[in-house]
Structure 1
C-alpha cells in the first residue's frame, strides 16, 4: 500500500500518499499522478511524469491497477507503481532527516527537500503538469502548443523517459535536427524549440534543475521572417464591394471588420461581447498581451455589427455562437474548441474567396492587420501612432510589419535615381 502516515517530535502527523490530481472541470480522460504530502493539516503535492484514468487508480491503496490485458499498458502500470514506491521511500527518508534536526517543518519543506535531492521530474512529467496548469487557467491555446511540442519530443526520444537534468545542448541540437529531417519548416522547428525553452527555463526557476545549465544558449530559436502581404487600395475595394452571399459574405465581413478596427485579431473578434461595446466605442483586452484597447467604431464597422446583431447571444460576432443560446453554461474549454473549428472554417472561406476574385495575394485575418498598418503608413501616419494602434510594445515589431512596403519604396526611389 502506497500510503505512509508518520508522527514527528512536534506532534505533527505527516501523511505521504500517491493520488490522482483531478479537477472537476477538466475534460481529459486521464489525470496526473501526484505525491501528496500533508503535515499540520497543510498540503503540498509533487507531480510525477505519469497520468492514469480514474479506473486505473485504487485511491484507498494509493496505487495503479491494470484494467486491461494490453501488455504495453500493464508494463506502464507496473512502471507507475515502481516510481511511486521509490519516491515515497525517498520522502520517508527526508521526513526522518528533517525530524532529526529537532526543528519543525512543513509539507512544503518536505517537497522542496525532495527536489533539492535531485529527484527531479522528467521532461514529459514537467510538461504535463504545466499543460494541466494552463488548462486550469483557461489558457487552452498555450496548453495545446505545449501538447504539440511534447508529442514531437516524445517521438524524437522514442518514448523513453528523459530527465530535465539530462537536457543539454547536444540533446537539443539532436532534437532540432530530428525535426528538420521530419520535413518540418524552419518556422515550425523554431516554434517547438521556443516552447521547449520556455518550459525548461521555468523548471530551472522552480528549482528542478540544479546548477547553471543553459542548454539553449547560442541556439537560435526565433522563427524566420515570413513575407508580410498587405492589400492595395484597389484590391481592398474589390474585396469590400464584392457581391457575396452566405458563408463567404460572412467571412468577408469579418475580414473587413478586422481592418476597420485597426487590425483586430481573430481571437479578439471571436470573444468580443456586447458588454464591451459602449457609446460607439469597443473596450476590450487583447488576449495575446493583456493590453486594454479602446477602438471607436467607424460607420462601416458599426454597419457590420448591426448586420449580425441578434437576441440570445452575448457575442457580438457570429464566430462563437453555438446552436443554442451562446455565452451561457459553456465552459471555456468548450468555447475554445469551437473557436479552433471556426478559425479553420473562416480561413478556408477567405482562401476560397481570394481564388474566386482572382486575387494575386491570399486573404487572411493577418493580412487585414498588415493592410491597416501599411495603408496608415502610406497616408503619412507616424510610426509611433501605427505602433500604438496595433498594440505593439515596441516600434521594432511595427517595422517588421511595414518592412515589405518600405523596401518597395526604396526600390521605387532607386528606379528614379537610376533612370538618368
Structure 2
C-alpha cells in the first residue's frame, strides 16, 4: 500500500504565542506518524482544505518551499526503499530522513550552548548569553523556531527594536554576536547548512564601526592618576584603572585573579581568561607601587577583589560582577568630576592604552589601536609575536 505525505496545521496544540505547529503527517498501512516541521502559524493564516498557507500569510512562499522540500525528501526516501526492496512503516520512513539534532529549534540549541558554557565553568560568559537570550525572547516572544527563520531581515528588525529601547550599539553588537556564536556552533556540528547562515549578508562588524569612542588622551589619563580618592573603594577604582592602562589593557577579571606567582623578574605574566593567550608585559614603577599598596599575607591575590573565601566558579563570578559594578560606578563619578569627554569605565583603560601608543607612533604591528574589535585574538597574536624588548620600548610611551 502506498503512503500519503502531507503537512497539516495541528490545531490540537496551541503554542504560547497563539500559533499552531505545522506537522508532517505520513500515513501508511492505516497508521499515521506526525513530525513537527519546525514552523508555527496562526489558524486564520492557514487554508485547511488545500493544506497550504493563505495568500496573505507572512512568509507564505518560504513556508511553501519548506513544505515541498520536506515532502520531496520523504518521497525520495520511500522510493529508494522500494527500489532496494526494503519494507518500511510510516515511523521508520520519517526516522530514516531525520537527524535527531537537525530538528532542534534556535531556543533549544541556544540553551544547549549556555549549558555547555556552564559545564566548562565559564559562568560569567554563560550569564551574558542568558541576558542575550532573554532579550531575544522579549523581542520575538519565543525562540521555538528553526534556524532558517532568522535571516538578515529578522536581525535588522531586532537591531532597530534594540535601538528603540535606547540600548547602546555595543550592547546590540554583543547580543547579536552571541546569536552568531550559536549559529556557528550549529554549522560546525552539521545541525544546519551554511546557506541558512544570515551573517553572510548581515555584518555585525558594521555595528562595531558605530560604537562610541572609548578612549581618552594621555593628558586625561594623567589627570586620573593624580586624582586623590576619598574612600577605599574610590581608591581601588583608580588603581584598577591605572594598573590596566599600564599593563597592556589587562581587563578587570584578569586583574582580580592575579597572584604573586604572576610576577616574574619585574614582568607580569598571565594567561588571559577570555582567550587563554599567554601575556607577558613589563611592570612599570607605578604598577609596582600599586601592587605593594595592596600586599596582604593572608591572601594569594594581588588586589583585594577576590579572597580565599571565593572557591567555586559561581562564588567568583558573583563577586566579580558585584565589585566591577561598584568600581565602574565610582569611575563614572570620577570622570564627571574631572570633566572627561566620555563615561569612565575599566574598559576605557584598555582602549586608551592602545590609542595612546598608536598616537605616539608605535607600530600597529606591536599594538592594535582597536582593542574593541569583534575578535580580540588578533591583537593578542600580534603582542605574542614580538619579544619583550620591543614591547618594553613601546610601553615607555605610556607616561
Alignment TM-score, normalising by the size of structure 2: 0.62
CA distance, structure 1, for counterparts of residue 333 and residue 213 of structure 2: 20
1:190 shift after superposition: 2.9
CA pair 384-395 structure 1, distance change in 2 beyond 3 A: farther
> Of residues 291, 305, 325 in structure 1, which corresponds to 2:291?
305
- Given that 2:186 and 2:192 are in contact with CA atoms closer than 8 Å, whether structure 1 keeps it comes out as yes
- Given that 2:106 and 2:143 are in contact with CA atoms closer than 8 Å, whether structure 1 keeps it comes out as no
> Of residues 186, 191, 213 in structure 2, which corresponds to 1:228?
213
1:300 shift after superposition: 1.2
**2:267 corresponds to which residue?**
281
* Residue 122 (structure 2) pairs with residue 139 (structure 1): yes
**1:188 corresponds to which residue?**
171
CA distance, structure 1, for counterparts of residue 359 and residue 127 of structure 2: 38
Secondary structure of residue in 2 paired with 1:384: coil
Query: What is the aligned residue count?
Result: 287
1:232-263 CA distance string (max 9 Å, x none): 44433332222323221121111111122122
Q: Where do 5+ consecutive residues of structure 2 fail to align?
A: 1-37, 39-80, 87-94, 384-399
Using the TM superposition, name which of 360-369 and 337-346 deviates more: 360-369
> Of residues 305, 312, 318 in structure 2, which corresponds to 1:337?
318
- Given that 2:105 and 2:147 are in contact with CA atoms closer than 8 Å, whether structure 1 keeps it comes out as yes
**1:264 corresponds to which residue?**
250
- Given that 2:256 and 2:306 are in contact with CA atoms closer than 8 Å, whether structure 1 keeps it comes out as yes
Q: For 1:4-403, what aligned pairs fall within 5 Å after superposition?
A: 116=99, 120-159=103-142, 161-164=144-147, 166-209=149-192, 212-222=195-205, 223-225=207-209, 226-246=211-231, 247-321=233-307, 325-326=308-309, 330-387=311-368, 393=378
Using the TM superposition, name which of 208-217 and 187-196 deviates more: 208-217
1:371 shift after superposition: 2.9
1:293 shift after superposition: 0.8
Alignment TM-score, normalising by the size of structure 1: 0.59
1:104-128 CA distance string (max 9 Å, x none): xxxxxxxx97852676112211111
- Given that 2:152 and 2:201 are in contact with CA atoms closer than 8 Å, whether structure 1 keeps it comes out as no
1:317 shift after superposition: 0.9
